[in-house]
Each structure stands twice: as structure tokens, then as C-alpha cells.
Amino acid sequence: MPSIRRPQTAVAAAFLLAAAVTACGPSHQAAAPDPSASAAASHAGLPHLPEGLPTALPTSRSGLKEWEQAYRDGGWRDWSKANWLHRAQDFVNPVIDGLWSLDRMRGADEDSKQVPADVPADRGRTDPAPAPQQASEVATPYHANAPAVGKLFFDSPEGPMVCSATVVEDPAHPGKSNLVWTAGHCVHAGKDGGWYRNIVFVPDYNDRGLSTSTLEHDTDLKDLAPYGVWWADWAATSDQWISTGSETGGGGSPYDFAVLHVTPGKGAGGTSLQETVGAAMPVWFDAPSPTAMTGLGAWGYPEAAPYDGQRMYDCQGKPGRLSLDASAPTEYRVGCSMTGGASGGGWFTTMPDGRTALVSDTSIGPEQPAWLAGPRLGAEAKAVYDGVSRKFA
């Protein structure tokens, strides 16, 4: 088996392919503007705080504002091991108005995850590698052809990064969802790291599919973010990803999924994400195994060459099986040329009732782009999803 990597996260979050290696690149626009204050949820119970933040946890509204201001003033840039929040309950992501400018989005890099060449093919059930398939450009405008898909941006120790993500339904708020589905490696570094910071979702990024040359001279953020920039006020991933996820070797790939709750963009007037973009995908848990599924499609914003992260692509075909750990669920795998940046992008198929539903997300792929793999969503994924929905019910 060839080496595998996680699709990169630049202006579209990490692209974690099953058995791949994460390689996030630095941005040339890492400096953050001096942001203004904005509201954020209380974050009680944090065990470690970045240097420069108050050492006492906030116990009042004024104390919370002081803590958030210190975070916005630069505390989030401290990535020392002792201050990198790791546990599931430690997530914190105060809004920093103006941080994700047009230039900073364009300068974000990819995050890829690879798997070594000696990964055994006889663990669990693995089918022969699928035939390579060239990804197809999604027709523009994206809001008319893939309105629920977008890009995820976040800060990592290496600088601004990107992944892909999808708006999904919220059972607690029918028709008014603020939930986003992506890969676990797009929000948390796994066993050797912690939560990434300044996580935002941009639905229908570059909706009109403007060329890179055009965007280089563009000064209007609305061309890249026509439906706003949505900050995550909560994120959840699997315990397995947090405890076993790795940058190399494909560790945690069968459990590489995450759910975000996002706050309405500035000026949205309280309108939900689903209402704003006009779509949210149902999630099909315990969907048919790869051998029983007739076909599916993977969507995302590939960043690594020969792509540039500015356009949306998709690959479609009948999935095969990939197993990196006989004790873990077998993953879906499809032929696809998408590269880093496609990580976290949704995989869709048709349910028996005729609706299109999300069944997986891009986790990993080979060093030489030929296929992608993603987790089959079972009980663990449903627990993460239900937990986020209940938290904001």
C-alpha cells in the first residue's frame, strides 16, 4: 500500500486520509489584527490556560470579559505543550472580530495526514485500491449546486490552516440548524496535541468560483465569504480520535469525525446557518457497508497541487473497503485525485427515502493522490452528534 496522508487544511481545513500523515503548512498572513470585543460562551473547568491569560477561571461576566480579552490580545498564540487544551471538555474558541480577513483566508495552508507504505492490507477487510479518478469541478454558483458545503479555517502551531466541512441538520432545531460536520483532525491534533484555535466555517466559499488570479486583486471579503464567517462556539470529536489520533500511520482514522456548533455571522440578525445558506444535510448513521452501497460522492476544496484551494470539487463512484485496524470499523474508500484541503469534506449518498445524506467525511489518502478514505459513521459518531445537538437544545 502506498503512503497515505490526510488532505491538507489551508483555506479549507485538514484533509485526513485513512492511514495518512498530517502536514500543515505555515501561512504568509499569520499576523492577527487588533480585534474588538465580542460575546462568547462561558468556559468553566479549563485545567490549563495559555500564558498571558488570567490564572483564575472567570466567575462573573466581568471576569469572563477579562479572560476573553486576554485571549484575543494574543494568548491563543501560545502553543506550548503545557498550555495546549487537550481534553474533550476543554474546547474554547472566543470570537475575534476581524481575525479571518480576506488575505488571511487566502494565505491559510493545508493539513495532510499520511500513512506509511508498510501498512498491512490484511488487517480486517480491505479491497484492492480503487482505480484513480480525476475530481470534477462543481458547477457554480455553489449555493445552487452544493449549498451545504464550505471551508473550515483554524489556527495551528504551524499557522493558519484549512479543511472542508458541511452544514448538517440539527434534530433539536428543525430547519434552523447551526451544526457543521467535519473531520476530527480538522479541530483537534489527536493524542499528541489539543484543540486548534480560532475555528470558523465559511459556507459556499468563493461561491462564484472566481479564479486565483482574480482573487489575488480582490478586496471584497464577500467574494470569498458570501454568507459570512461563522465562529465555532463548541466542537466535539470522538474519544478515540483524542486518545489515538496521530499525524502519521493513520491512527484514529476510523473515528476521524467532528461536529461543530457555530454562531451567526456578524450582521446575520440571529438567522441560523441553515436558513442563511438554504440547506442542511441529514446524517445517515449505520449506513450500508461499502460492499452494499451502490455509490457515493465526496466533496471538498483541495488545496495541495495541482489544486489551489479556491474551487470546490467532487469525486463519485462505488466505494470499497479499507481497514487499518481489525478492531476498528472498516472505512469507505473511493478513487479520487483530491489533495490536502479536502479533509473533512462530506461524503454523500441517497437514502431509501430518496433524500441525499451525509455518510462520511474525508480522513486520509495516499501520498500520490489516487483515492480517499473516510470513517463509517456508527454509534460513536451518533453520540458526538447528539451530544452537540442536546448541548444547544
Q: CA 184: distance to chain centroid?
A: 7
In a shared domain, residues 142 and 243: yes
In a shared domain, residues 85 and 234: no
| Residue pointed to by grid coordinates 462530506 | 346
Residue where a domain terminates, one of 92, 109, 125: 92
Residue where a domain terminates, one of 69, 92, 115: 92
Eight-class DSSP state of 241: H
In a shared domain, residues 116 and 88: no
- Angstrom distance (rounded) from CA 393 to CA 279: 20
- Angstrom distance (rounded) from CA 103 to CA 301: 17
In a shared domain, residues 77 and 130: no
For the cut 50, the answer to whether the pLDDT of residue 271 exceeds it is yes
In a shared domain, residues 335 and 237: yes
- Angstrom distance (rounded) from CA 393 to CA 376: 26
> Per the structure, how many domains does the chain have?
2
Range of the domain at 80: 30-92
Question: What is the phi/psi pair of residue 347, to 5°?
Answer: -110, 130
244: domain CATH number?
2.40.10.120
Q: What is the DSSP string of 65-115?
A: HHHHHHHHTTGGG---GGGS--SGGG------TT-S-HHHHHH-B--EEB-
In a shared domain, residues 83 and 218: no
Beta bridge partners of 333: 320, 373
Q: Which residue has the higher pLDDT, 363 or 59?
A: 363
Q: Kindly list the distances between the CA atom of residue 392 and the CA atoms of 31, 173, 233, 288, 315, in Å, as whole numbers in the listed order.
A: 33, 9, 10, 30, 34
Cβ pair 344, 184 in contact under 8 A: no
In a shared domain, residues 76 and 168: no
Question: What is the phi/psi pair of residue 89, to 5°?
Answer: -80, 0
In a shared domain, residues 197 and 309: yes
| Amino acid 227: pLDDT | 94
Return the percentage of the chain with pLDDT > 90, whole number: 54
| Amino acid 315: pLDDT | 97
- Angstrom distance (rounded) from CA 168 to CA 390: 15
- Identify the band that residue 81 occupies on the pLDDT scale cut at 50, 70 and 90: confident
In a shared domain, residues 207 and 121: yes
Residue where a domain terminates, one of 65, 92, 119: 92
For the cut 90, the answer to whether the pLDDT of residue 88 exceeds it is no
Mean pLDDT of all residues in 324-351: 93
In a shared domain, residues 86 and 153: no
For the cut 50, the answer to whether the pLDDT of residue 342 exceeds it is yes
- Angstrom distance (rounded) from CA 245 to CA 253: 7
In a shared domain, residues 16 and 39: no
Mean pLDDT of all residues in 188-196: 92
Mean pLDDT of all residues in 70-85: 74
- Determine which of 94-103, 145-154, 270-279, 341-350 has the lowest per-residue pLDDT on average: 94-103
- Identify the band that residue 217 occupies on the pLDDT scale cut at 50, 70 and 90: confident
Question: What is the phi/psi pair of residue 268, to 5°?
Answer: -75, -15
In a shared domain, residues 22 and 87: no
Mean pLDDT of all residues in 318-331: 90
- Identify the band that residue 79 occupies on the pLDDT scale cut at 50, 70 and 90: confident
